[in-house]
Structure 1
Amino acid sequence: MPLFRDAPRPPAPTTPSKVQATWSDSMGRLAMRALQVIIVVVLLAGVVYAGGVLSVVTIPVLLALIIASAMHPVVSWLRRHRVPSVLATLAVLVGVLAVLGLVGWLIVVAVENQWSQLQDSAVDGFGKLQDFAKTLPISISESQIDDAVGGVTDFVTSAQFGSGAIAGASATANFLTGLVLMIVVLFFFLKDGPSIWEFLLRPFTGEQYARARRVGDRVVSTLGGYVRGTATVAAVDAIGIGVSIAIVGVPLALPLAVVVFITAFIPIVGATAAGILAALVALVALGPVQALIVVGIVILVNQLEGNFLQPVLMGRTLKLHGLVILIGLTAGTVLAGITGAIISVPLLAAAWGAILVWDGPDTPARPWRKKRDESITAHERPAD
């Protein structure tokens, strides 16, 4: 019997297989990362495509979510004062619909009352533009102007314009369907929003549940703050510009003020578009001097808004770079038209808010955390 038993031999080192070695080098890691990016892009493209196909459903739901986030404090305040939940929800819902209906009614009445005046002014203004075109250094003959007018007339009377009118009727039907759906979804979001979110969080536990709660609360607060702040700024812009152009004598001042209010929800380009429209109406109806006055009024109001109102009312709700906003506006406009342009920015702000609380109440997700200050000198670094 041997005095000493053989010590157990250490396991032989395993050499990585050829496949593992291929994926573990620098090119393999790069290929894996590229594959992950491709998968994420494909999934996002699928979601966007499905949302575009089902736009009659997705857009009303998103609009209802944004409006419900803005009106949630009002519903909560009514419930705290012992108003039954259903009555509080119905009161807020009726209030929202009343405001939207009043805005639409004011536009229709104002356009109907001033349409004949604007039509006569447009005819006179078009004649002035024709006379002005003849005095330009560029030679524009009378026949070229007649050809342009004839081309517009032929298009209006063509079958292509008729098919466009049929498409417009179909869009109207889709709009009414989406409006009814938005009202129904908005009612349930206002009434049972917290419980609906809690139901969706049932699969999560522990840290995942806490993260989902943080993200949900931040998204609702961001959307609500954005809508309330932007609506206040838009109301001030609409009142200031509307009263000013009414004093100047521009027709359709009330519809133009409503247009200013709506376009104020489109950052960067909305105010410019509203100013151009108001200036064109003033140019056609009154002349170039009044148009320049309108341009000056729009610039003044926009400067007051950008330098005083937005920093105070919006606060830290919308902290996005201008390039990100422009890209989001472009993508939203391409995907869903004017509605996409309006809802794209608050959705981007909500997504950024979710990133900022992803790993904690004040801890962003790891890729977006601020890096350590690289200006620390060597003697200031902690010893190893």
Structure 2
Amino acid sequence: MTTPHPTPYRPAAEPPPGTPGSARPPRWLPRALVMAVVAVFLGIFVWNAMGALEGLFVNVLIAVFIALALEPPTVWLVRQGWRRGLAAATTLLGSLVVVIVLIVLFGNLFVQQLVALAQSVPRLYAGLQTFVAERFDIVVPSSDNLLRQAIDEFGDDVASGALLVGTTLVGGLLATLTILLVSYYLLAAGPRFRVAVCGWLTPARQQEVLHLWEVTQGKVSDYIGSRVLLAAVSTVVTFVFLAILQTPYAVPLAVFVGVVSQFVPTIGAYLGGALPTMVALTAQGWPQAVAVLAFVIAYQQFENLYLAPKVSARALEMNAAVSLLVVLAFGAVFGVLGAFLALPVAATIQAVATTYFQRHELIESHMLHDPESVRGD
């Protein structure tokens, strides 16, 4: 009789890594941790890079809108037989020359009137001091004491302020050169740039991109046209008022008000009205200066509430209330640049929405129409 051999003891197999009962982590965990650390550092790098390149992005955005605005005159010159590069340089440099001429003409006048106003400040302050002392029996500090106190408080900041101004001027010059170069390259490339973009897209996508490109270019051109129209109206109305008031330099002052009030967002209206007010104050007196200031405020209210929304809505096909809210919202979020580019950007977004979203027929409802007029016999 054979005795059976005992079965040898075999330890239970260890579960696979990462499964319940296993002491070892999953095989993918080290790789996932490494990828997570790399993603965090990459995110931090991209965030810092975006912050450092914010100014460059803004300059490129300005250059794109300048190129879109100058595309129609560039195309017109090309149709006349000009080469694309020469036409782009002519339109860009021509626009730059116009801006420089305006700055030289009105900058000199502005400085002269500012110096005259500064020289008249002590006399005006003395008159105000006498008026307050006689009417209200209040002693106002003399101008010498105020000047001495201002020097004691802010004299230490003069050097740092001068350094800041110098740095700002250098940065502004570099930003201007960047904008001009990018604008020229975009204008000179023209169709070749669109060909390079569309070469990466399918034919259907190419059609959409070219349509949106054309819509955006039309919106920007319409926006510039509306600004020019509003500047012309403001110039004429301001000239008529200054001529009636017999304020000196009526023609250049009117042009200055029209240009600055339309092409400098948010504060342009008040900055444009400051120069004729100072001229009237230094050349005529307080009553004329107050009259000019009241006219500037009244006309800006009329323009903001009635004229500008009508013109902007007609040029950009946008509701008047929506156009006003868009300017305020973009200005609050993105500052001066956002306020200036708010309407063309919003109109482009609206055009994109109408391209990709389908509109439906309206039902019959009394809520969609004004009631008919009912008059008694």
- TM-score, normalised via structure 1 length: 0.68
Q: Is 1:351 equivalent to 2:345 in the alignment?
A: yes
Question: Distance in 2 between the 1:364 and 1:75 partners?
Answer: 30
Please state how far the C-alpha of 1:347 moved relative to its aligned partner: 3.1
Letter in structure 2 aligned against 1:85? R
- Match runs of 1:282-361 below 5 Å: 282-283=280-281, 286-299=284-297, 301-302=299-300, 305=303, 307=306, 311-312=310-311, 315-317=314-316, 319=318, 320-333=322-335, 341=336, 343-358=337-352
Once the two structures are overlaid, the 10-residue window that deviates more, 346-355 or 184-193, is 346-355
- Match runs of 1:266-285 below 5 Å: 266=264, 270-275=268-273, 278-279=276-277, 282-283=280-281
Q: Is 1:192 equivalent to 2:182 in the alignment?
A: no
Question: Distance in 2 between the 1:51 and 1:220 partners?
Answer: 27
Question: Distance in 1 between the 2:149 and 2:362 partners?
Answer: 64
Q: 1:363 to 1:250 in 2, by over 3 A?
A: same
Out of 151, 170, 173, the residue aligned to residue 173 of structure 1 is 170
- Match runs of 1:196-207 below 5 Å: 196-207=193-204
Please state how far the C-alpha of 1:162 moved relative to its aligned partner: 1.8
**Matched residue, 1:22:** none
Q: 1:363 to 1:63 in 2, by over 3 A?
A: closer
Q: 1:276 to 1:141 in 2, by over 3 A?
A: same
Contact 2:312 2:323 in 1 (8 A): no
Please state how far the C-alpha of 1:329 moved relative to its aligned partner: 1.4
Contact 1:229 1:314 in 2 (8 A): no
Question: Distance in 2 between the 1:256 and 1:376 partners?
Answer: 49
Please state how far the C-alpha of 1:192 moved relative to its aligned partner: 1.4
Letter in structure 2 aligned against 1:351? V
Q: 1:234 to 1:332 in 2, by over 3 A?
A: farther
**Matched residue, 1:82:** 81
Please state how far the C-alpha of 1:239 moved relative to its aligned partner: 5.3
* Unaligned runs of at least 5 residues, structure 1: 1-42, 334-340, 378-384
Please state how far the C-alpha of 1:50 moved relative to its aligned partner: 6.0
Say what the alpha-carbon RMSD is for the aligned residues. 3.8
Question: Distance in 2 between the 1:330 and 1:235 partners?
Answer: 28
Q: Percent identity?
A: 23
- Cα deviations across residues 126-149 of structure 1 (Å, max 9, x unaligned)? 333333444565x75334876644
- Cα deviations across residues 7-37 of structure 1 (Å, max 9, x unaligned)? xxxxxxxxxxxxxxxxxxxxxxxxxxxxxxx
Question: Distance in 2 between the 1:111 and 1:269 partners?
Answer: 17
Out of 361, 365, 375, the residue aligned to residue 375 of structure 1 is 365
Question: Distance in 1 between the 2:168 and 2:326 partners?
Answer: 30
Higher relative contact order (CA 8 A, sep 6+): 1
**Matched residue, 1:233:** 230
Question: Distance in 2 between the 1:54 and 1:318 partners?
Answer: 34
SS at 1:356 equivalent? helix
Q: 1:299 to 1:143 in 2, by over 3 A?
A: closer
- Match runs of 1:88-167 below 5 Å: 88-111=87-110, 113-114=112-113, 116-134=115-133, 140-143=138-141, 148-156=146-154, 158-167=155-164
Question: Distance in 2 between the 1:272 and 1:233 partners?
Answer: 16
Contact 2:277 2:290 in 1 (8 A): yes
Q: 1:70 to 1:351 in 2, by over 3 A?
A: closer
Once the two structures are overlaid, the 10-residue window that deviates more, 63-72 or 198-207, is 198-207
Question: Distance in 1 between the 2:205 and 2:140 partners?
Answer: 72
Please state how far the C-alpha of 1:76 moved relative to its aligned partner: 0.8
Q: Is 1:183 equivalent to 2:173 in the alignment?
A: no
Contact 1:78 1:88 in 2 (8 A): yes
Q: 1:308 to 1:376 in 2, by over 3 A?
A: closer
Q: 1:85 to 1:124 in 2, by over 3 A?
A: same
Q: 1:180 to 1:259 in 2, by over 3 A?
A: farther
**Matched residue, 1:249:** 247
**Matched residue, 1:338:** none
Please state how far the C-alpha of 1:111 moved relative to its aligned partner: 4.0
- Cα deviations across residues 215-252 of structure 1 (Å, max 9, x unaligned)? 22222211121123203322442454357447533679
Q: Is 1:209 equivalent to 2:206 in the alignment?
A: yes
Bigger Rg, which one: 2
Question: Distance in 2 between the 1:66 and 1:135 partners?
Answer: 58
SS at 2:316 equivalent? coil
Q: 1:136 to 1:314 in 2, by over 3 A?
A: farther
* Unaligned runs of at least 5 residues, structure 2: 1-42, 368-377
Contact 1:223 1:350 in 2 (8 A): yes
SS at 2:314 equivalent? coil
- Cα deviations across residues 311-362 of structure 1 (Å, max 9, x unaligned)? 35862316234233212112232xxxxxxx1x32353333323333336xx4
Q: 1:172 to 1:269 in 2, by over 3 A?
A: closer
**Matched residue, 1:9:** none
Please state how far the C-alpha of 1:154 moved relative to its aligned partner: 2.9
In the comparison of the two structures, how many residue pairs are matched? 318
